[in-house]
Amino acid sequence: VRSLLLVPQSFWCCCGLRLILCSPSVICQGFVPGLVGKRALLPCYSDSAADNVFWRDKDNNNLLDINKDTPNPKLQHQKYKVTSFPGEYKNGNFSIKISKLRLDDADFYECNIPKQHFVVSVQLKVTGWFIFIEVSRFVLILCHMLKYSC
C-alpha cells in the first residue's frame, strides 16, 4: 500500500498523458526523442549541487543513484545502460545518457533531488530505425531492425 504525501501548495498536473502530483519544484520537461539502437540524453538541471540524486523509471526501477558526487551504477536495473557526467554535478547538471535504446525504453523517467524537493519528469519517445537494402534495380526491401533480419 502506497501512501500519498501532500506537500503544502501541491496540486495535480499533467505531464504528457500522465497525471502527477506537482509542487512549485516539479518540472515537466516534455519529451525527448530517441532512435532504436542509438542513445538519448535525459536532462536534469538544478540550481546547485546536491548530495543525493535518484533517477527512476515509472515502475521505480533504478537508472542511476548519485551519492556525494559519485554515480553508483552497481544498483542500476539490468535493463538500462546509463552514464552520467560527474564533472558537471558541481554545476547542478545531473543529466543522464541512456545507450542502446529499445522501443520498450519509451516511457516516463524522473530525476529526484530529495533535499531540494526537486523532481524533473521526462518522457522518452523511441522510434524504430529503418534500413533500406537494394536487392536489384527494381526491388527495395525495407527491414525493420527489431522484427526482421536482413
**Cα gap 141→150, rounded to integer Å:** 9
Provide DSSP, 92-116: TB--EEE-S--GGG-EEEEEEEGGG
Quick one: how far is CA 17 from the chain centroid? 16
Tell me what the pLDDT averaged over the chain comes to. 75
Let me know if domain 11-144 sits in CATH 3.30.420.40. Answer: no
Whether the full predicted model's pTM is greater than 0.75, yes or no, is no
pLDDT at residue 53, rounded to an integer: 95
Helix (H, G, I), strand (E, B) or coil at 33: strand
Helix (H, G, I), strand (E, B) or coil at 30: strand
Where do we find the cell 525495407?
142
Where do we find the cell 533535499?
115
Non-local (6+) Cβ contacts of 34 within 8 A are 40, 98, 101, 105, 106, 124, 125, 126, 127
Lowest mean pLDDT among 2-11, 68-77, 126-135: 2-11
Q: Rounded mean pLDDT of 5-29? A: 45
Segment of 30-34, 57-61, 127-131 carrying the highest mean pLDDT: 57-61
User: Any idea what the Cα angle at residue 142 is, between residues 137 and 146, rounded to 5°?
Assistant: 150
Tell me: pLDDT of 129 over 60. no
pLDDT at residue 67, rounded to an integer: 92
Q: Rounded mean pLDDT of 82-108? A: 94
pLDDT at residue 14, rounded to an integer: 44
